[in-house]
């Protein structure tokens, strides 16, 4: 999701590149998810384990995501996510 501030003339080229890269990554992620879903039981086990982990670690995860959300818009962009890998 992009806001108006991202649409000025200086950011158009970087925005196009970012959108293209995000789109490519989304397609790759969807393909991997489809492969996992096709595997049946391992996929369901993964979903169950992730659900249990998120319930157990909700507070810490929410705080981490707030820290990573540098612009405070309420979601983590791919760029914010990448930047957070060095925290």
Q: What is the pLDDT of residue 78?
A: 87
pLDDT digits (tens, 9 = 90+) for 27-72: 888 888 888 888 878 888 888 999 999 999 999 989 988 999 988 9
User: Are the C-beta atoms of 81 and 21 separated by less than 8 Å?
Assistant: no
Q: Is the pTM of this model over 0.85?
A: no
6 Cβ partners below 8 Å, 6+ apart? 15
At residue 11, does pLDDT exceed 80? no
Confidence of residue 87 (pLDDT cuts 50, 70, 90): low
């Amino acid at each position: 999701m992009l806001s108006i501030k991202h649409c000025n003339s200086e950011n158009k080229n970087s925005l196009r590149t970012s959108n293209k890269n995000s789109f490519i990554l989304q397609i790759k992620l969807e393909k991997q998810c489809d492969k996992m879903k096709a595997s049946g039981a391992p996929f369901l086990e993964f979903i169950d384990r992730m659900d249990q982990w998120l319930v157990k670690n909700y507070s810490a995860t929410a705080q981490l995501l707030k820290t990573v959300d540098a612009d405070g818009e309420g979601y983590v962009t791919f760029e914010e996510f990448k930047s957070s890998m060095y925290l």
